[in-house]
Chain A
Amino acid sequence: MIKFLLIGILRDRSRSLFPILTVLIGTALTVTMTGYMGGVVPDMIQLSSHLDAGHVKLMSQSFYENRHQMPLDLALDDADGLIETLDAQFPDMMWKARTRFGGLLDIPDENGETRAQTTVSALAADLISPNSTELDYLNLRESVVEGALPQDPFDVLIAQAMAKSYAINVGDQVTMMTSTVNGSMSFQNFRVAGMVVFGIAALDKGGAIITDIEGARIALDMNGGSTEILGFFKDDEYNGERALVVSDWVNNNLKDVNDPYTPIALRFEDSNEFGAMMQYMGSFMFIISAVFILIMFIVLWNSGLMNGLRRYGEMGLRLAVGEEKGHIYRTLLLESSLIGIIGTIFGTAIGLIGVWMLQEYGIDLGNMTANTGDGIYYPNVIRGKITPACFYIGFVPGLIAPFLGSLVSGRGIYKRQTASLFKELET
């Protein structure tokens, strides 16, 4: 019987082409979306963890509570000591001290007089010790568009957009005016080693400056300290459960509730809006999929009704030959399942091609990706990824929608009186 139905589907294009196309489009979109998410979400996790949150992030309790003001005086004062402890405890992780601070950048003219001033936000990380992964994690090697990477603790990189608007050149001296951990004023001269374009709109737009952590420690008078310590799994694969083990250990063993400088640890998904965002994306995907299924269902239901009208003759004849109504109904369901399978196979293939193109070429969204301000960064170039889910996810809408469609449209035939169904073939 399946062979019989397949022959019907393949030969009667008007019966099958439209439903197959519907399923094909629906599943191709589903697969492409899944591949898009499968590429974007890990990219987003990687980028955001590298730039900001780490897989696990340590701050002092009180810094965390006041983090929006970036209170330098509440930084971890013995970051290097903590890192030693953590290295011993978690051999599969590496730890990096980083400090974020703000200040006023003074740009002098050739006489050393102030030519321009602007507020900047600075990030200090280990840029010059050999084998430091920070150059890669902050993607600085590729981002330097003019000049070179820092060689000296007092070398800085500045965002090219800012450099252009203040006519700063590579090799220029700039002065950073800020306050130290103790609250006293600090003036530190830096040399502009290079200019960077991150390719991340959020970073390129703001006035960003990147300094070496040791240079910053001198400028801010915080020897061995930092505002945060980022922990990364050495394989660079974020895993919420593994991260929880680490953050729990820190919070249970290093935390001292009576000490405001006590370190606390947050997992990636807890230190920004990521958890909520994943939930949001999850429900978004769910709604989109449900809408797809619904649209496909309605389209297929209608085409099932139309086909039913067109095929009254066939139904009547089959009844006359001695086929049961229930059997006809079941063959209609089977037929639409076959149509669903065929459509899904082709739709999945097309979707995979779409994902592959997203993976190879990406889509440059450029300035459209705004920083949401919640510590989540999106790459400017969106890339998909062919994940295992891409191969099977299409079957969910691709089988459910046509099945439901003919379940409903077939009811009409099923409920009809044999005689009246049959009569219609005579007119």
Chain B
Amino acid sequence: MTAAKLIHTHDLVKTYPVADREFIALKNVNIDIGKGEFAGLVGPSGSGKTTLLNVIGSLDIPTSGSVSVLDHNIGALSHKQAAKLRNHHIGFIFQTYNLLPVYTVFENVEFPLLLLGKGTEERKKMVMDALDWLGLTEKAEMRPAQLSGGESQRVAIARAMVKKPALILADEPTANLDAKNSHHILKTMEKLNAELETTFLFATHDEKVMQYMKRIISLEDGEVVKDETK
């Protein structure tokens, strides 16, 4: 294991209490993801993809085993430390409810920078750069309801990348999009991955998405059953 390992899990187990017993959502997951990877978690519904992403994203903690992300031990982080890790280093993209509906495209992308305490001028520059990157400059003053699904997802990518995080976690980012838009989104992410060396980890069961992945980690019933690098 080298310093290039961005994510490292060791015998990661996640269980949920269901009725009077424990439901095992993740079973001894051992994976390593290096800097600059473009990897996908695939598997049937309920196989634990979202659960794994959430633990890696420090939104949830492991029941046992360990997860380290950027040399932070997720299980040992306080709420504050976890928030700080997400704020500085991790970008999220979800399937739905990605944008705050009352705010404009500009304001949505600006939000993480506001939390980082950046000054007005710097924020403006960074937001406009990110929007430019995603071809959204024209839409800056629009509200999410006025955007198409593909545009909304691009805004979500802009928000995830505006702070130039080391890691972007994307949970079914194309599930609501048609083939053309999916393609466009994934191309954009590939470009980000190539130019900024941003590490991407996806969760998907969409065959079309899998084609773009350079590495596919298959989950079944919470277990890693296959891990292939193209």
Contact = CB atoms under 8 A, between A and B. Distances in A.
Interface of A: 1, 4, 7-8, 11-12, 15, 313-314, 316-327, 418-419, 422-423, 425-426
Task: Enumerate the 5 nearest inter-chain pairs by beta-carbon distance, A residue then B residue, closest first.
Answer: A322-B87, A419-B60, A322-B86, A313-B97, A324-B83
Contacts, number: 82
21 contacts: A8-B103, A11-B103, A12-B102, A317-B98, A319-B59, A319-B86, A320-B86, A321-B115, A322-B83, A322-B86, A322-B87, A322-B88, A322-B90, A322-B112, A322-B115, A325-B83, A327-B83, A418-B60, A419-B60, A426-B50, A426-B94
A7 B107 contact: yes
B159 A321 contact: yes
B65 to A, nearest CB: 16
B127 to A, nearest CB: 13
A1 B102 contact: no
Contact of A322 (B84, B94, B98, B107): B84
Contacts of B212: none
B114 interface: yes
Interface in B88-108: 88, 90, 92, 94-103, 107
B166 interface: no
A324 B98 CA distance: 18
B54 A321 contact: no
B59 A1 contact: no
Nearest to A316: B97
A419 B94 CA distance: 15
A425 B97 CA distance: 7
Contacts of B92: 320-321
Contacts of A7: 102-103, 107
Contacts of A15: 102
B112 A321 contact: yes
Contacts of A423: 54
B80 interface: yes
A418 B83 CA distance: 10
Contacts of B102: 7-8, 11-12, 15
A4 B107 contact: yes
Contacts of B87: 321-323
Contacts of A320: 57, 59, 86, 92, 94
Given A321-B92, A418-B60, 19 more contacts: A1-B114, A4-B103, A7-B107, A11-B102, A313-B97, A316-B97, A317-B99, A318-B111, A320-B57, A320-B92, A321-B115, A322-B83, A323-B115, A324-B83, A418-B79, A419-B59, A425-B96, A426-B50, A426-B95
Contacts of B57: 320
A230 B87 CA distance: 77
A307 B29 CA distance: 38
A317 B103 CA distance: 13
B97 A319 contact: no
A152 B114 CA distance: 86
A267 B90 CA distance: 75
B103 A319 contact: no
Nearest to A319: B59
Contacts of A419: 54, 59-61
B102 to A, nearest CB: 4
A319 B54 contact: no
Contacts of B115: 321-323, 327
Contacts of A11: 102-103
Nearest to B58: A418
Residue of B80, B98, B102, B159 most packed against chain A (CB within 10 A): B102
Contacts of B103: 4, 7-8, 11
B136 interface: no
A317 B156 CA distance: 11
B82 interface: yes
A187 B42 CA distance: 116
Interface string B106-126: 010001101100000000000
Contacts of B90: 322
Residue of A318, A322, A422 most packed against chain B (CB within 10 A): A322
A340 to B, nearest CB: 19
A422 B54 CA distance: 9
